[in-house]
């Protein structure tokens, strides 16, 4: 009998789970990302929930929800030694609100579907990932970008930094929630073994050498600079993230001083 897959971590990090959210403000079959009219509706909802200016931010957030599917597969692979089925037909895209904040995630229709990995078979893993991207992730990203009238690079270019940040978070847990050696071994197929043409890009979007800065909210801590802007400033009263690569050194230093003053006041 196969062991039950544990989605607790993918749920807490990415809102990807077997149960999904019970009261979403919006949901649709994930395969509808490929349909222009449905993608427009989803992006409009994301835009309304985030008070976006234009569709740059909704496209970014929708694209990052697809990145989260990739990382969720990595986590399950590292934990259970199998590839879980996170193909578009097996997912329901959801947007929900919690404590005044909106979140995008996916409910897995058949969470027990899996494909066991052949032990230490790198070619098997490469073939699985190649099929997953070419049949599901790539077309969805292209559709979102086309619908929002943005370059697909706005989405793809964030993947390397996002994976580095997720790894940093998991590393800080000191193997309490996942064995980092196994996670890194699984992730290496994405970052080092897949060619750019798998993603339809000129370079592998997961390949990224992290740049580290001090974390102003945690003395002695560190943050990884994003590989590309997430467009979070493209909303009412929005501003760039502290670890945005578009921030100049002077802008970041100015922000650091403000954060430090706020920390002292508290």
Please state which of the ranges 28-32, 182-186, 218-222 shows the lowest mean pLDDT: 218-222
- Tens digits of residue pLDDT in 60-103: 999 999 999 999 999 999 999 999 999 999 999 999 998 888 99
| pLDDT tens for each residue of 192-212 | 999 999 999 999 999 999 999
Give the model's pLDDT for residue 118: 65
pLDDT tens, position by position, 112-139? 998 876 656 889 999 999 999 999 999 9
> Which domains occur in the chain, in start order?
8-210 (1.10.510)
**Mean pLDDT rounded to a whole number for the chain:** 94
More confident of the two residues 156 and 80: 156
Of the candidates 180, 181, 138, 179, the one whose C-alpha atom is nearest the C-alpha of residue 159 is 138
Residue (of 167, 222, 213) closest to 190 by Cα position? 167
Specify the pLDDT at position 72.
Answer: 98
pTM here is 0.94
What percent of the chain clears pLDDT 70, i.e. is strictly above it?
A: 95
Q: What is the pLDDT of residue 263?
A: 64
Answer yes or no: is pLDDT of 1 > 80: no
């Amino acid at each position: 009998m196969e062991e039950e897959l544990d989605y607790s971590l993918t749920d807490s990090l990415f809102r990807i789970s077997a149960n999904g959210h019970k009261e979403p403000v919006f949901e649709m079959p994930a395969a509808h990302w490929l349909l222009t009219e449905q993608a427009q509706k989803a992006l409009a909802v994301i835009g309304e929930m985030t008070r976006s200016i234009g569709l740059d931010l909704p496209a970014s957030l929708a694209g990052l929800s697809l990145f989260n599917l990739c990382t969720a597969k990595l986590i399950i692979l590292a934990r259970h030694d199998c590839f879980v089925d996170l193909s578009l037909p097996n997912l329901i895209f959801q947007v929900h609100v919690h404590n005044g904040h909106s979140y995008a995630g996916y409910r897995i229709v058949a969470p027990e579907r899996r494909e066991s990995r052949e032990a230490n078979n790198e070619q098997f893993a490469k073939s699985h990932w190649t099929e997953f991207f070419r049949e599901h992730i790539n077309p969805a990203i292209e559709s979102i970008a086309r619908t929002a009238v943005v370059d697909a690079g706005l989405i793809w270019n964030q993947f390397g930094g996002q994976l580095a940040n997720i790894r940093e978070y998991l590393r800080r847990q000191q193997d309490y929630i996942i064995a980092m050696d196994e996670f890194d071994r699984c992730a290496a197929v994405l970052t080092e073994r897949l060619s750019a043409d798998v993603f339809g890009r000129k370079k592998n979007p997961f390949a990224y050498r992290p740049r580290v800065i001090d974390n102003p909210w945690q003395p002695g801590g560190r943050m990884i600079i994003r590989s590309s802007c997430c467009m979070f400033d493209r909303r009412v009263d929005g501003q760039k993230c502290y670890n945005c690569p578009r921030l100049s050194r002077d802008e970041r230093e100015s922000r650091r001083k403000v954060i430090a003053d706020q920390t002292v006041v508290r």
